[in-house]
Chain A
Amino acid sequence: MASTGDLEPTHYPARRAAQVALHYLNTHHGSPFRVFGLQQVHKASAEDVAAGGRKYKLDFSVTDWGSGSAGPALRCSADVLFPRTERHSAPEVQLHCEALHQINSTAQEEDAFYQKYISPDSTVSARDIPDSFGNMSEEMQPFWRLARVAASFIMLRESSENTEFNMAKVASVTQQESSEEQLMLEFVVLLHDFPSQEIVQWKLLASWSPDRGVRVLQTEWQPRCPHATKPPN
């Protein structure tokens, strides 16, 4: 179902495209102390493109979930191209956010976090973040954010015009042996797709350091017991 031309910013086509831009933003600028969320879409339009895809132009605002409701909103603009190919391929995003480098630095927190967990003795392991009641210990928050950022790589890759992903919860985090001075973390994350309401499970291996940021090394779709629901694409 297609809409071309100006889009209603409060309707789902614009919102889904904006969410894709958010995933892209988080893969580039997310950290254990920074995850961006969509605040609202101001303007949106879409057009078919020559190669057979659809390109969305978006004007939207984002906030850093880490700063809570007190945080400032950043104004962003993005082009999001959903290719039309036989097999699904990842959308392509071009993104620009104003004042991205002016937001409060989290270098100190990142460093402290890194130092704490890079030691060879560190063996972090936890389940259900947050728990059923939305609770998460302060210690787990940076791990939750790291999972969210790492999951953004998957969500970005798996997105189409017919999906809208968020991370529902972190089923588990297990620290692996550090490699090349990177924190190595194995996550099992549960993604929620809003249109189909499906919960999709992914296992992933991610690395992080203050210098290199988040990298996702391996991803593996996992069937959920007892029945296997394939990912929407």
Chain B
Amino acid sequence: MRLYLAVFALLAAVHCEELFNGDQVLRIHAESENHIQILKKLERDVDSGLDFWTHAVSTEQPVDIRVPHSSLYALKDFLKKNNIPFTVIINNVQEHLVREREEMVRNAKMESKTKSFNFAAYHDLETIYNFMDTLVASHSNLITKVNIGSTYENRPMYVLKFSTGGEQRPAIWIDAGIHAREWISHATAVWLADRIATDFKENRAPVPSILSQMDIYLMIVANPDGYVFTHRSPNEFYRLWRKSRSATSNPKCHGVDLNRNWDAEFGGPGASDDPCAEDYRGPSAQSEIEVKNIVKFIMSHGNFKSFMTLHSYMQLLMYPYGYIGIDAPDWPELHDVATKASKALNSWHGTVYKVGSIFHTIDQASGTSVDWAYLRGIKYSFAFALRDTGEYGFLLPADQIVSTARETWFALRYIMKYVCDHPY
């Protein structure tokens, strides 16, 4: 960080056309009090032309010195004679400055794009996809965009992977927008993507610690075809569309409820076999390409420890099961985690969420993603139904996006930290 500041200061100098060609920055590792005294004396010598970026204080901290080209050999000689170890950390300051400056200009452009992104508005698919690209470019050391397959209407399905490295680290899955009309879920996920990136960059707990051990996969739009359809017109037939846009056995009715199409007690009560119904399960489990793509991705990854999905509305934090009313084996723990997460959410803005299984809080539902994940051994599986409780429903005013996203983040953060602290 200090190095960065020093370079920045130099940039100002470069502007005044001072040149640093051939200058080097040496890192001195003082090993004794004697070394420290020698370095202190060197620093006091103002005619030396040496530019001390950090000061000689103790043997615990390295001392960084920018050395003008003309003084290089003399200083290196001096240090060797006194057995003071050093390394060259910047080989040619001028070159380094030019490269840094170019990168800073690039980053500033990207950052101003993400900073100027209006999180307090609902955006169409193209805008969200552009946002993803901008975010990846601004945080290329952390985020990559993964194409996990195409939709029925041949649109790409993207997942943002947040990772600090490792091979197939234990991972957390978050998706939004599996139901097209639940716009607050996509908008919240957009905000979350930026928030996770920013928290990592600014070293804000617990994100860096979570990301040092786990990867986060965030799918902002799980049903792109449906989402595009909801933007076609304010007419309720479009805006209030829920399902995918696949052709069905009924030429008059399109689409499958993507959250009834999973291979988890598919065909049971709590989903319809009528193609015209809002909760039409589809002709068979995973018949929908969108579901197939996600299943394939998660199964081939093989190391997901948590699966969370964002929906709206009703302000609920739910866990399995949806297909049946009996308690899941991990019920006590899941209920405890969800309860504490909902308290964290509530602490931000006072919003009250109810906690319970899908079956008990909404109704019996078969073929749901959360049940599928849990039955595949992904223990920490949760479904969120975001704001509100019916006043605006699916048409939640945009001025509630940021506060909704922020309170949701409080809950997600709690759950992610819990998952990280409880490996299995």
A225–B276 contact, CB under 8 A? no
B355 contacts across to A, CB distance below 8 A = 10
Q: Within the complex, what minimum Cβ distance (angstroms) separates B255 from chain A?
A: 11
Bound Cα distance from A198 to B253, whole angstroms? 14
B101 contacts across to A, CB distance below 8 A = none
Asked whether A177 is an interface residue with its Cβ less than 8 Å from the other chain, the reply is no
Asked whether A118 is an interface residue with its Cβ less than 8 Å from the other chain, the reply is no
A225–B237 contact, CB under 8 A? yes
Q: Mark contacts of A153-178 with chain B using CB atoms, 8 A cut-off: 1 yes-contact digit, 0 otherwise.
A: 00000000000001111010000000
Which residue of chain B has the shortest Cβ distance to A13 in the bound complex? B360
Which residue of chain B has the shortest Cβ distance to A224 in the bound complex? B237
B314–A194 contact, CB under 8 A? yes
Bound Cα distance from A40 to B391, whole angstroms? 14
Q: Mark contacts of B247-285 with chain A using CB atoms, 8 A cut-off: 1 yes-contact digit, 0 otherwise.
A: 000101100010000000000000000001111000000
The answer, among B252, B394, B400, for a CB contact under 8 Å with A192, is B394
Which residue of chain A has the shortest Cβ distance to B388 in the bound complex? A37
Asked whether A12 is an interface residue with its Cβ less than 8 Å from the other chain, the reply is yes
A-B contact pairs, 13 of them (CB 8 A): A12-B361, A37-B389, A132-B234, A133-B121, A133-B395, A133-B397, A167-B393, A168-B236, A169-B236, A197-B242, A197-B278, A199-B278, A224-B237
Greatest chain B CB density within 10 A among A130, A132, A224 is at A132
B395–A134 contact, CB under 8 A? yes
Instruction: Point out residues on A near B: beta carbons under 8 Å.
Output: 1, 8, 10-12, 19, 35, 37-40, 65, 69, 127-128, 130-136, 166-169, 171, 190, 192, 194-199, 201, 224-227, 229
Q: State how many residues of chain B have any CB contact under 8 Å with chain A.
A: 41
The answer, among B230, B276, B352, B397, for a CB contact under 8 Å with A227, is B276
B397–A134 contact, CB under 8 A? yes
B396–A134 contact, CB under 8 A? yes
Q: A8-B360, A134-B396 are in contact. Are A199 and B240 (CB under 8 A)?
A: yes
Bound Cα distance from A11 to B361, whole angstroms? 5
Which residue of chain A has the shortest Cβ distance to B349 in the bound complex? A69
A168 contacts across to B, CB distance below 8 A = 236, 240, 393-395
Q: Is the interface of B mostly helix, strand, loop or mixed?
A: loop
A192–B393 contact, CB under 8 A? yes
B354–A196 contact, CB under 8 A? no
Asked whether B350 is an interface residue with its Cβ less than 8 Å from the other chain, the reply is yes
**Which 4 A/B pairs are nearest by Cβ-Cβ distance?**
A134-B397, A166-B390, A197-B278, A10-B354
B363–A11 contact, CB under 8 A? no
Bound Cα distance from A128 to B253, whole angstroms? 24
Asked whether B4 is an interface residue with its Cβ less than 8 Å from the other chain, the reply is no
A35 contacts across to B, CB distance below 8 A = 391
Q: A132-B234, A194-B314, A227-B252 are in contact. Are A12 and B391 (CB under 8 A)?
A: no
Q: Mark contacts of B349-367 with chain A using CB atoms, 8 A cut-off: 1 yes-contact digit, 0 otherwise.
A: 0101011100011111000
B237–A130 contact, CB under 8 A? no
B278 contacts across to A, CB distance below 8 A = 196-199
A12–B362 contact, CB under 8 A? yes
Bound Cα distance from A1 to B364, whole angstroms? 10
Q: A37-B390, A38-B389, A190-B240 are in contact. Are A229 and B276 (CB under 8 A)?
A: yes
Bound Cα distance from A13 to B366, whole angstroms? 19
Bound Cα distance from A39 to B353, whole angstroms? 11
B424 contacts across to A, CB distance below 8 A = none
Bound Cα distance from A195 to B395, whole angstroms? 18
Asked whether B27 is an interface residue with its Cβ less than 8 Å from the other chain, the reply is no
Asked whether B239 is an interface residue with its Cβ less than 8 Å from the other chain, the reply is yes
Bound Cα distance from A227 to B236, whole angstroms? 14
A229 contacts across to B, CB distance below 8 A = 276-277
Q: A196-B278, A199-B278 are in contact. Are A135 and B314 (CB under 8 A)?
A: no
B240 contacts across to A, CB distance below 8 A = 168-169, 190, 192, 199
Q: A10-B354, A12-B362, A195-B363 are in contact. Are A132 and B391 (CB under 8 A)?
A: no
B356 contacts across to A, CB distance below 8 A = 8, 10-11
B389 contacts across to A, CB distance below 8 A = 37-38
B360–A65 contact, CB under 8 A? no
A134 contacts across to B, CB distance below 8 A = 392, 395-398, 400
A128 contacts across to B, CB distance below 8 A = 234-235
Q: A168-B394, A192-B393 are in contact. Are A131 and B236 (CB under 8 A)?
A: no
Bound Cα distance from A168 to B235, whole angstroms? 12
Q: Within the complex, what minimum Cβ distance (angstroms) separates A87 from chain B?
A: 22
Q: Within the complex, what minimum Cβ distance (angstroms) separates A116 from chain B?
A: 24
Asked whether B131 is an interface residue with its Cβ less than 8 Å from the other chain, the reply is no
B398 contacts across to A, CB distance below 8 A = 133-135
Q: Within the complex, what minimum Cβ distance (angstroms) separates B271 from chain A?
A: 10
Asked whether B86 is an interface residue with its Cβ less than 8 Å from the other chain, the reply is no
Greatest chain B CB density within 10 A among A8, A10, A134, A135 is at A134
Q: Within the complex, what minimum Cβ distance (angstroms) separates A24 from chain B?
A: 15
B239 contacts across to A, CB distance below 8 A = 132
Which residue of chain B has the shortest Cβ distance to A41 in the bound complex? B354
Q: Within the complex, what minimum Cβ distance (angstroms) separates A232 from chain B?
A: 11
The answer, among A69, A133, A171, A195, for a CB contact under 8 Å with B236, is A171
Which residue of chain B has the shortest Cβ distance to A229 in the bound complex? B276
B352–A40 contact, CB under 8 A? yes
Q: A37-B389, A133-B122, A190-B240 are in contact. Are A195 and B362 (CB under 8 A)?
A: yes
Q: A168-B240, A197-B279 are in contact. Are A132 and B395 (CB under 8 A)?
A: yes
